[in-house]
Amino acid sequence: MEFSADQIAGILNGEIQGDAEITVNDLAKIEEGKKGTLSFLSNPKYEEFIYTTGASICIVNKSFEPNKPLPEGLTLIKVDDAYSCFAKLLELYGNLYKKEPGIEKQTQIDPSASIGTNVHIGSFTYVAKNTSIGANVVIYPNCYIGENVTIAEGTKIYPGVTIYHDCKVGSNCIIHSGTVIGSDGFGFAPNEEGKFQKIPQIGNVVLEDDVELGSNVSIDRATMGSTFIRKGVKIDNLCQIAHNVEVDEDSAMAAQVGIAGSTKIGKHVLIGGQAGISGHIKVADETKIVAQSGIPSSIKKAQTLMGSPGIPLDDFKRSYFGFRKLPGLLKKMQELEEKIEALTKV
């Protein structure tokens, strides 16, 4: 589908500098732009690329003034905030692939399930007994929706997602491929013979509204009660959330984070990739945890932590600076030991 600069400027309330009739049919990063694509520039770090880009249209901030000649044929659309305007266009572009309501063939839905209006369910998806699916939900092919599951309106579930029985998914959530919600928590107790005996996991998982889960995320059901992912939480690919964990509102974590059982993560917490958080602890609101850090105990006030075990960021930097000097210090120590030994022999 093609859009002209004039149409795009109308959507964004922008000012055109160049050919208002030029059209684009694709999006591209500014350094990879080619004829027929739309790009944007918001970070001055990338300004050099606007003088060589092959894109036909580029969205820029109103404050942008070129200090070199622009490529021939490049049309600018000037807006208040280029980044947010481009994000708006990305959202519109994504809607071009919106699924039409309907139940595809070879889908099995139990008669007791409740299906709302304008729902799309893809082929080879199984919807079990007493499940409730709200209006405008999209479920792609090859998904499993277990018994007594509730999925609220506007949620999108990509192919290959598994949602176990009794779990609840809020409205306007996005769940990416391969994610498993409600698998058993890691609950075992050694018996008299020293063998592990499984502890039944009879709770569930509750995702509140506006949660997004990346691909291959695993969220365990609670032993009793619920594992909670609160409103607005964003979880990247390949994260593991154990049983009875609670991640509070508007927190976010990058890929490969692991959170052990019964830990409580506060509001607006940011966790970098591959961080590990021990069980049965609390992490204060607004805390930031740097990638690959390990958190073994509760964090009582907001701070930025790094390392394993995690310590305040400035302390870690000072410690690391000292650590880097260790080889030189060890060499000097060895030299001093040799001198002392030589002196004692005199």
Q: What DSSP string describes 63-112?
A: T---SSPPPTTPEEEEES-HHHHHHHHHHHHHHTTPPPSEE-TT-EE-TT
**Model pLDDT for residues 137-153, shown as the tens digit of each residue:** 999 999 999 999 999 99
In the predicted model, is pLDDT for residue 96 greater than 80?
Answer: no
Query: According to the model, what pLDDT value does residue 110 have?
Result: 97
151 contacts 171 by C-beta, under 8 angstroms: no
Which of 177, 259, 258 minimizes the C-alpha distance to 214?
A: 177
Query: According to the model, what pLDDT value does residue 285 have?
Result: 98
What are the helix (H) ranges across the chain?
Answer: 5-12, 82-95, 313-324, 326-344
Query: What separation, in Å, do the N-terminal and C-terminal C-alpha atoms of the chain show?
Result: 91
The DSSP 8-state label assigned to residue 226 in this structure reads: E
**Model pLDDT for residues 123-137, shown as the tens digit of each residue:** 999 999 999 999 999
212 contacts 232 by C-beta, under 8 angstroms: no
* Local confidence band at 346 (pLDDT 50, 70, 90 cut-offs): low
Residue positions annotated with a catalytic role: 243
**Model pLDDT for residues 296-335, shown as the tens digit of each residue:** 999 999 999 999 999 888 888 888 888 788 888 888 889 8
Which of 252, 237, 240, 249 minimizes the C-alpha distance to 209?
A: 249
> What residue has token string 């302390």?
315
**Domains along the chain?**
3-95 (3.40.1390.10), 102-315 (2.160.10.10)
Phi/psi at 329 (nearest 5 deg)?
-65, -40
Helix 313-324 to helix 326-344 angle, to the nearest 10 degrees? 40
**Model pLDDT for residues 209-236, shown as the tens digit of each residue:** 999 999 999 999 999 999 999 999 999 9
